[in-house]
Amino acid sequence: MTDVTFIGLGIMGAPMAANLIRAGYRVTAYDVDTARVERVVELGGAAAASVPGAVAGAEVVITMLPDSPQVEEVAFGDDGLLNHGAAGMFHLDMSTIKPETACRVAQAATIKGIRPLDAPVSGGERGAADGTLSIMVGGHPDDFEAIRPLLAVLGTTVRHVGPSGSGQIVKAANQLVVGGIYGLVAEAIVLLEASGVDPEGGLDVLAGGLAGSRVLELRRHSMIKREFVPGFRVDLHHKDMGIAVAAARRAGVSLPLTGMVAELMAAAKAQGHGSLDHSALLKVIERING
């Protein structure tokens, strides 16, 4: 499979499409922002002016969109991929959406003879650019095996985690962990600074011990400098925490720390930080402490 359509060329989608082009795939790009499409064309991709035009002849359609409503529009609309995709085509949705939306799209695709996989990612803009994403895939295992070589271009940790919707459940778990770590790193910075301890040295020690994490590795210095250029926006993480809380409710489990992180993320959004990187949880913790 070499003909790939990529729909959604934002912070994550654009570098992922670029990696596919560099790997030799023939990529047709579509986005409502034509400037994003033009940048992919400059790298060697082709442009499409509409979803039907993008889907025509594609072996694989990848969608990387902000939320469930956008995925539903691209999938179910009159000009959507389910109406215009050919039987046997793969639909690889790499957005982060509600698990029930993923299941609904997969069911409709299967009826049309389209092979659906939900494959959300983790790793942020850096992981998308470097091709080192973690990719959690829900769907039929045979479809996963068929698409695995393409996924290997985009990520280094690629796992089939269960039937349709399972990828989104794993992503919800990922986001509650990442949000919790950001909140705790923010508290650690506030504690160190309030105690007169150099946060650079303190977090360097933490990053080398049991408390070490990718968050500390990639973001501790920018957090200390209060640089919140978005690799992943608060707005999106706020949406993802809502998915995690709703998933917990459906599963009938209590996740008290998840609820607290969701409230902190909601506070960040309410305080006007939605366009900042999710490490801006530090601004919320600072405000709590005056």
Rounded CA-CA distance 138/173 in Å is 14
Judge whether residue 184 has pLDDT over 90: yes
Confidence class of residue 26 from pLDDT cuts 50, 70 and 90?
very high
Contact between 49 and 7 (Cβ < 8 Å):
no
pTM above 0.85, yes or no: yes
pLDDT, tens digit, for every residue of 103-148? Answer: 999 999 999 999 999 999 999 899 999 999 999 999 999 999 999 9
Judge whether residue 82 has pLDDT over 90: yes
Contact between 64 and 16 (Cβ < 8 Å):
yes
Confidence class of residue 2 from pLDDT cuts 50, 70 and 90?
confident
For residue 143, what pLDDT is reported?
97
pLDDT, tens digit, for every residue of 210-233? Answer: 999 999 999 999 999 999 999 899
* Strand 90-93 versus strand 155-162 pairing type: unpaired
Burial class (CB in 10 A: 0-12, 13-18, 19+), 250: exposed
Residue 33's region, left for phi above 0, alpha for psi from -120 to 50, else beta, is: beta
Packing angle of the helix pair 234-251, 256-270 (nearest 10 deg): 150
Encoded tokens for 241: 């925490």
Rounded CA-CA distance 284/281 in Å is 5
3-state SS of the chain is CCEEEEECCCCCHHHHHHHHHHCCCEEEEECCCHHHHHHHHHCCCEECCCHHHHHCCCCEEEECCCCHHHHHHHHHCCCCHHHHCCCCCEEEECCCCCHHHHHHHHHHHHHCCCEEEECCEECHHHHHHHCCEEEEEEECHHHHHHHHHHHHHHEEEEEEEECCCHHHHHHHHHHHHHHHHHHHHHHHHHHHHHCCCCHHHHHHHHHCCCCCCHHHHHHHHHHHCCCCCCCCEHHHHHHHHHHHHHHHHHHCCCCHHHHHHHHHHHHHHHCCCCCCEHHHHHHHHHHHCC
For residue 187, what pLDDT is reported?
98
Judge whether residue 46 has pLDDT over 90: yes
Identify the structural domains of the chain with CATH numbers, from first to last.
3-162 (3.40.50.720), 169-288 (1.10.1040.10)
- What integer best gives the mean pLDDT of the chain? 96
Judge whether residue 1 has pLDDT over 80: no
Q: Which residues contact 118 (CB under 8 A, 6 or more apart)?
A: 93, 97, 102, 105, 106, 137, 138, 139, 164, 165, 166, 167, 168
Q: List Cα–Cα distances, 181 to 130, 139, 171, 193, 217, in angstroms.
A: 23, 29, 15, 18, 12
Tell me which residues are annotated as active site: 171
Using alpha carbons, select from 21, 218, 7 the residue that is nearest to residue 124.
218
